Structure 1
Amino acid sequence: MKRRKGKPMSDLDRAILETYRVARACSGDRFIDTAFDVLGKYVPFDSARWATASATPAGVVFHAPHLVNEVPDWDNRYGEIRSKDTAARFMLTHPGTTGNFHSLTSLTGPDNAALLDYTRKVKHANALITAHKDFTTGYTLTIGLFAAHVDRQYSEQERQFVEFLYPHLMEAWAVNQSLQIERYRSRIWSVAMCLPPGLITLCEPAFFDLLRAEWPGGHGGHVLPPVLIELLGSGADGHRGRHAVFRFERHPKFAFVRARLATSVDLLTEREREVAECVASGLTHKEVARRMSIAPATVRNHLQAIHRRIGARNNAELVALLQRDNL
């Protein structure tokens, strides 16, 4: 009996497999660049943009866009023509459809003069732009590929290739984010992944419960509360609230925000916390006193107050409570 030959794998099949492979192999900081490397093997481009966007009366606003080979002042130049961006309007009204834009033929007439000049300055003579709305977060997710030379028009085959691959790129990104979050998940901590300034792209349901516990009635949508946004931008380690505790871990393109319920350990003053951490590290009363430039008797007084406040009967229980709360 003759063995039947399988159907040869298409370029699209290869790209899909590579995309999901890098989703599992790459760190969160590297995934988008690596996904663009995969895409560029099949649809060459000179620059690219992967972004979360939202519509405003003044036009589309891109939040923390991931840019590849874009001109340094791209965002300032875009702000000047934001309200005139016909490609952005197309992506909002045609979700999931890749638009193929050739500036010389699509931007004719005096009304488009400023937009045509913008495409020349930022080297976007040709573009393939795809987007869809994430109904969970309310944001629009978008990918744009750009060719600098006017003669490098994208073909219909390339347009279709990007359109078919796009949902796999988005799904692979979600897989990659989930895997990154898994690294920080624990029994007591819930995790969210955020883009600057504080857009929550992925999180565990318990994270929202903790936000509502700390800011009842004052939090809605997939955006961090203003207090956390300010602290995240200031370089602070986190925030200790009345009902919940938040910790930040920053990366070049995003940040993880961990949250847990507040416990008795969080009631300690900064001085008491310092004493508790010294004891937890194995220092004796005299060693703690020398490190903190206080008397050994003061260390004992602090420890007695600490034990009462958190309900620890001895230093062993104190250490266990500190370890439980990851302090």
Structure 2
Amino acid sequence: MPLNISERRAHRLSELLLRLHHGSREIGATHFKGWALEQTRAEIPFDRALWAMGAERELVIHGVHLQNLPPHFMENYERFKHHDRILAAVLQHPRRAFFIDEVYAPGEREQMEMVKQHSRRFDIEYAVVVAMKEPVTGLFNVVSLYRGASASPFEAQERLLLELLIPHLVESADLNRLRMVQHRLPPPRTAACGNALCDDQGVLHQAEPRFTERLRAEWPEWSGAQLPTPLVEALLNRRARRFIGQRITVQRQTLDDIHHLTAREAGPVDHLSQREDEVARLLADGASYKTIARRLAISASTVNKHAHAIYAKLGLKNKTELAKELRGDEGEA
């Protein structure tokens, strides 16, 4: 039977969504998930919560926020996570929320009791769980809301609200984290790109749809959270700042232990050498050969040679055309 949300509740939900998206720009990344869950609690009361991020193929959980739960909650969970029917169910059916009792078959009572025993150690009697999953990479976000034995079970309408909320929770958290990284790093020279975050092993922690689209253009068979081997070798093993493929260019910037990657379509400008690229951008800014020579500590005749090579490679005639070419490289989607 279809569930309807009252007009009053629909207005409250709309206000909550606005707060989430405003908060993604204002709240610090280390506090955002806790803050977002507190906003959610106003509409779906709960006692404890978990928000986990990971990769489905490897079943690796690489980020966890625990709300009113001790750190060893996850240590206990690691022992049976591969037998967790709830996680399997929400990953198989993204954006559909489940109650614990729904996902175990009659012959799986032992597994269900294992989960319940684990939960009751932390005063968890009732749970509603939902996930979002990126289809190409398998990156997922799982949100679990819990109530203790003294509380009432979650209702069907609360499950529906969580299903409506999960895309906004995940999108606002993704934007919040990317903004934090981008705020602390110099901006990439191109705006027409897809963004992603990965670790030193080349495992994606977050990826925009445009980023995965760009990578699939270069490697049509690629999927999963592990970056393609050529990217890992160039950007992480050799620590290159830029990978130039047949169809795409990927740039890397590093902040602490996370790498910010930007991927875009490759263009003629990408095939300039590093020195030619430096000269080209100064020429496009209107600098004279003498100014460029002084800035780069090279001779004016060397600047002249680079300029001729740049114009020849790009099929251009003057600074005006060069400036237009570089503007196109930097922002047109």
| TM-score w.r.t. length of structure 2 | 0.66
Task: Report % sequence identity.
Answer: 22
TM-superposed deviation, 1:256:
7.3
1:20 aligns with 2:17: yes
Alignment partner of 2:266 out of 258, 262, 267: 262
1:78 is matched with 77
| TM-score w.r.t. length of structure 1 | 0.67
1:131 is matched with 130
Structure 1: how far apart are the matches of 2:218 and 2:20?
A: 34
1:280 is matched with 284
Contact 2:132-2:170 within 8 A present in 1 as well: no
Contact 2:98-2:128 within 8 A present in 1 as well: yes
Structure 2: how far apart are the matches of 1:269 and 1:50?
A: 42
2:105 is matched with none
Radius of gyration: which is bigger? Answer: 1
Deviations 1:224-277 (A, max 9, x none): 43444677778875532232123467899x987543322211111111112222
Contact 1:91-1:99 within 8 A present in 2 as well: no
Q: Partner amino acid for 2:37?
A: F
Structure 2, gaps ≥5 residues long: 102-108, 179-186
1:189 aligns with 2:192: yes
Runs (4 or more) in structure 1 with deviation over 6 Å come to 108-115, 177-181, 230-236, 249-252
1:301 is matched with 305
Contact 1:243-1:261 within 8 A present in 2 as well: yes
1:165 is matched with 161
Q: Partner amino acid for 2:47?
A: F
Alignment partner of 1:54 out of 35, 53, 56: 56
Deviations 1:157-193 (A, max 9, x none): x343531212211243476589899xx9xx9825356
Q: How does 1:1-327 map to 2 (within 5 A)?
A: 12-13=9-10, 15-27=12-24, 32-41=33-42, 42-51=44-53, 54=56, 61-62=60-61, 64-68=63-67, 70-72=69-71, 75-85=74-84, 87-88=86-87, 91=90, 96-99=96-99, 116=117, 120=121, 123=122, 125-131=124-130, 134=133, 136-137=135-136, 141-146=141-146, 152-156=149-153, 158-173=154-169, 176=172, 189-191=192-194, 197-198=203-204, 202-204=208-210, 208=213, 210-215=214-219, 217-220=220-223, 224-228=227-231, 238-247=242-251, 258-326=262-330
Structure 2: how far apart are the matches of 1:264 and 1:233?
A: 25
Instruction: Number of aligned residue pairs: give it.
Output: 300
TM-superposed deviation, 1:84:
4.7
Counterpart of 1:325 in 2: which secondary structure?
helix
The alignment yields a C-alpha RMSD, in angstroms, of 4.7
Deviations 1:32-73 (A, max 9, x none): 5443122222413334224456376xxx54354454455446
TM-superposed deviation, 1:313:
0.7
Structure 2: how far apart are the matches of 1:249 and 1:33?
A: 27
Structure 2: how far apart are the matches of 1:94 and 1:249?
A: 35
Structure 1, gaps ≥5 residues long: 1-6, 102-107
Contact 1:51-1:65 within 8 A present in 2 as well: yes
Q: Partner amino acid for 2:222?
A: H
Structure 1: how far apart are the matches of 2:233 and 2:12?
A: 40
TM-superposed deviation, 1:307:
1.2
C-alpha distance 94-221 of structure 1, shift in aligned 2 (>3 A) = closer
C-alpha distance 255-313 of structure 1, shift in aligned 2 (>3 A) = same
Q: Partner amino acid for 1:130?
A: V
Q: Partner amino acid for 1:49?
A: W
